Structure 1
Amino acid sequence: MTVRVLVCDDQVLIRTGFVTIIDAQTDLEVVGECGDGRAAVELAARLRPDVVVMDVRMPVLDGIEATRLLAGSGVPDPVKVLVVTTFDLDAYVYEALRAGASGFLLKDAPPARLLDGIRTVAAGDALLAPEVTRRLVGRYASRVAPPPAADGSPLTPRELDVLRLVADGLSNAEIARALVLSPETVKTYVSRILTKLDLRDRVQAVVWAYRTGLVG
């Protein structure tokens, strides 16, 4: 199935580069592009993309607020958003996660990482740039709410093992190798974890792991 992508970036050269890279893939299709957050919200309502690739600093409406309107809590039909920015700043990650983004990448990442990120987010998983995962998500989690008691976790010991590795930023394939499991089994464990904890995606699972003291 082809993943429908909307690209939103106010820098024309960067936006054109993203569109060219994405459209060259047989399983990805750019259905629209724009240069500000307000246009992204309007286009997403009309085009219903699977993933919006969203810049942060833009005119009219910035990427964080646009993400909140597209994927935030209470949005009846949320769209998956992958935030891609040149700014490796704590505040942007915090706000992107709060707004409902399913992923965060830096613009200097290799094209292959961008493409993998779009596919990952479209599949219902979440993605954080390896450069920011542990450093920033840990700080974000500590600011969200007081941690609940970890011993009240409904997870099995094996599910806790998987969650620890998810929180370390490992992919399903890497977790499978570490625990000597098949990738399909790991995917099942991750899905079970999200269901038991009533979490939307891997980003929220990582936050939960930090808040409960499972990792830190």
Structure 2
Amino acid sequence: MTTNVVIVDDQPLVRLGFRMVLNATDDIRVVGEAGDGATGVRVTQQLTPDVVLMDIRMPGLNGVDATRTICATAATSRVLVLTTFDLDEYAFASLKAGASGFLLKDVRPDELLGAIRAVAAGDAVVSPRITRELLNRHAASLRTAEERADEPDPTAALTPREREVLLEVAAGLTNAEIAQRLVLAEATVKTHVTRILSKLDLRDRVQAVIFTYKHGLPRR
């Protein structure tokens, strides 16, 4: 199957470079481009691509706000944010807005292609460990335990084992590492993760990590 991609970046040469790399493959096709966030939203809504490569710093509507709008109005399109620096101050905001991950703009071609394929398949391309570092840097913006005291248990829909797996995901472990730690088959862990994301209405593992921090769940 072909993965359709829209590129949103205010630099024409950057769009050209990405387009050349993507269109050189058999399974990825660039179906649209935009030079600013507002146009990117319109193009995405019109074309409903599988993946949107989204720059963050653009004139007018920035990539964070464009990502938020796309994730709210184009449910089948996943956003992969492009940043200049590894821990760009806007990366966390993009993840909270619904992005499935972020990449550096100097990413190698094979990494870019792998990331697009992963996101199109419903996975995330940001290591949970990196996500945790981003969250730690912005811990002040998260609610305190006192502010959450009267809220119902956010994991009530999960089984005890699923909750256990969720906490391991939040700790940054891969399925293989979780399987080893909990003495489970890796396929079983994968099934648990899929059910967790479905029950909690989360897009991917990145959003699962954010969920645990947002609700103050225990961390290892």
TM-score between the two structures when normalised by the length of structure 2: 0.80
2:216 alignment partner AA: T
CA contact (8 A) 2:128 2:173 kept: no
For residues 116 and 171 of structure 1, the distance between their equivalents in structure 2, rounded to whole angstroms, comes to 17
Q: Match of 1:85?
A: 83
Question: Residue 112 and residue 140 in structure 1: after superposition, are their counterparts in 2 closer, same or farther (change >3 A)?
Answer: farther
Decide which of 103, 125, 128 is 1:127's aligned counterpart: 125
Q: Residue 170 of structure 1: CA displacement?
A: 4.2
Corresponding residue of 2:108: 110
For the Cα contact (< 8 Å) 1:106–1:129, is it kept in 2?
Answer: no
Displacement, 1:164?
Answer: 3.4
Q: How many residues align?
A: 214
Aligned-residue offset at 1:176: 4.9
Q: Distance in 2 between matches of 1:69 and 1:49?
A: 15
- CA distance in 2 between partners of 1:179 and 1:21 (Å): 41
The one of 86, 90, 94 aligned to 1:96? 94
Tell me what 1:25 maps to. 25
User: What is the alpha-carbon root mean square deviation over aligned residues?
Assistant: 2.9
CA distance in 2, matches of 1:137, 1:173: 24
Q: Distance in 2 between matches of 1:131 and 1:21?
A: 28
Residues 108, 160 of structure 1: alpha-carbon distance in 2 compared, 3 angstrom cutoff: farther
In 2, Cα distance between equivalents of 1:200 and 1:142: 24
Query: Per the alignment, do residues 24 and 57 of structure 1 end up closer, same or farther by CA in structure 2, a change over 3 Å counting?
Result: same
Deviation at 1:161, TM superposition (A): 4.2
1:205 counterpart residue number: 208
Gaps of 5+ in 1: none
Bigger radius of gyration: 2
Letter in 1 for 2:70: L
1:59-78 to structure 2, matched below 5 A, reads 59-72=59-72, 75=73, 77=75
In structure 2, C-alpha distance between the alignment counterparts of 1:17 and 1:177, rounded to whole Å: 41
Instruction: Measure how far apart 1:159 and its partner are.
Output: 2.6
**Maintained 8 Å contact 2:128/2:206:** no
**2: CA distance between counterparts of 1:122 and 1:46?**
18
In structure 2, give the amino acid aligned to 1:84: L
Tell me the amino acid that sits aligned with residue 116 of structure 2.
I
Q: Structure 1 171/131 Cα, relative in aligned 2: closer, same or farther at 3 Å?
A: closer
Match of 1:54, SS state, is strand
Change (3 A) 1:66 1:168: same
Which string of whole-angstrom CA distances, capped at 9 and with x for unpartnered residues, describes residues 128-149 of structure 1?
2577322113444662334557
What letter is aligned with 2:49? P
Q: Does 1:7 pair with 2:3?
A: no
3-state SS of 2:90 partner: helix
Kindly state the Cα deviation for residue 120 of structure 1 after the two structures are TM-superposed: 1.9
* Alpha carbons of structure 1 residues 214 and 119: separation in structure 2 relative to 1, 3 Å: farther
Identical residues among aligned pairs (%): 53
Give CA deviations for 1:97-142 in whole Å, capped at 9, x if unaligned: 2322121122233333222221222122223257732211344466
Shift of 1:78: 5.6
Q: What is the alpha-carbon distance in structure 1 between the residues aligned to residue 177 and residue 186 of structure 2? A: 9
Map of 2:48 onto structure 1? 48
Q: Structure 2 counterpart of 1:133, which letter?
A: T
Moved more, 206-215 or 58-67: 206-215
- Aligned partner of residue 4 in structure 1, secondary structure: strand
